[in-house]
Structure 1
């Protein structure tokens, strides 16, 4: 949690829901930055602390969809009171998911840039009007695929540490 906790943890030593939300933002970043060693990998812990406490945030991954960028930025807001609650984050992600549609005939997926303007979970009223006018199309290829080379099976590690082959 040292590199994921944010300024609140370093200032007071206290962890609360807002620090969990900050860590969630780092996790979102990690999901779109694989492979990586760890966030802020080239910095010593004191440098991470100094930079985060003065407002530095990791750059948004180039292939991260705009709705997730919006979520990530809100979750690691410098002011913990401006971060969404876990419930608000979940509701926002559910709305993003509902807006995600797959055209089964072509296999392409389309996605509204950010949930509709009626969603106030993560948007202010001024942002909502500009957001509702933007749309981004994502191809299915922009989502990483997790398949084995053969496409039919993969090795899994059982609880005992032994490999076993499973069908995909």
Structure 2
């Protein structure tokens, strides 16, 4: 294949291609963006909801038909207590969830037991009862939807939701 523009034209084309390559290379070395509350944007600001979910953990999982806290769940909940005692501006709602494989009533009761197990653990490890409320969603709010153990195990959970605002005074 013969190039039709002569040597001068070939040099200009090479220069343009080099400039484009350098510009693309510079784009790949972008600076760390600021946190805007969305995932994957650099380190979380200490005391933020993103800090809580990514560095502490806001979900604990359960075995089938159980509200017993596993060792892993207890470790996460201990970290939650430390974090929440450090950042007293938050109250929390513990959401209890279940997988889809039983009746609505059974799963609502199981979700409530799971939420209460988490609440009890948080309170027994130093969190004020004024800062914690519970709710059960049973099987109504799955985070994974499929007819398989991989989904069911994700849905058997209790999730700690941070609420900004003053702590209730009773």
Where on the TM-score scale, by shorter chain, does this alignment land: which range? under 0.3
TM-score where L is the length of structure 2: 0.27
Max Rg structure = 2
Q: TM-score, normalised by structure 1?
A: 0.27
Bigger proportion of residues as strand: 2
Higher relative CO (CA 8 A, sep ≥ 6), structure 1 or 2? Answer: 2
Q: More helix per residue: 1 or 2?
A: 2
